[in-house]
Amino acid sequence: MLIGIVADAIFLAAFFVETLALLSMAQALYGWTWNGALVPVMRFYGETTSPLAAFEAGFFAGPAWLADAAIIAAVLFFSFFIAQARNAMAPYDNGDGACYKPTRLEAAIDLVLPAGICAIGAGLTAPTLLPILPLPVALWLLVKRLAGKPSWFEVSPSYYVNLALLAGVAAAIFALAR
């Protein structure tokens, strides 16, 4: 249960940073200014969170919104590949119907290793914005799964939740800014 609570907290923190990245991108691309309570939040994000979360984007010369897009791309990469990485690195099904019961150490390694590998991949590929490309694939896999057709590639349900929430926030930003 504690692992689930920690996972939810990490998801919410990542979504909060993605929301700030969307606000910052809107500010950089459209010249929008934020008033009230958002001013210190956006200042803190721009001065500390963004350079820390998207340090790899600093290696590339690009527009002001590249770091914000790299943050969103890193979260999308991680959430797209984490379920598949866990299945690939910690297969407990022996194929004969009997499942292997891992020890506590093996379970801890199987929890940390896929997340670490996905985090490294997210950090390396995020500045290229390539992690945004799996979006059509994820939607195709969702339609395929809803149609009852099996797929060997598994996408985490949190990926779809993240996409829906991010689309809702983006729609709200554009609706409220007009």
**Which pLDDT value is given to residue 174?**
85
How many domains does one find in the chain? 1
Structural domain boundaries, residue 39? 2-177
Does the pLDDT value for residue 90 go beyond 70? no
Global pTM? Answer: 0.81
Give per-residue pLDDT as tens, 15-69: 999 999 998 888 888 888 888 888 888 888 888 888 887 777 666 667 778 888 8
Per the CB < 8 A criterion, the answer to whether 119 and 78 are in contact is yes
The residue type found at 73 is A
CA distances from 117 to 74, 111, 167 (A): 13, 11, 27
**Which pLDDT value is given to residue 42?**
87
The confidence band for 95, taking pLDDT boundaries of 50, 70 and 90, is low
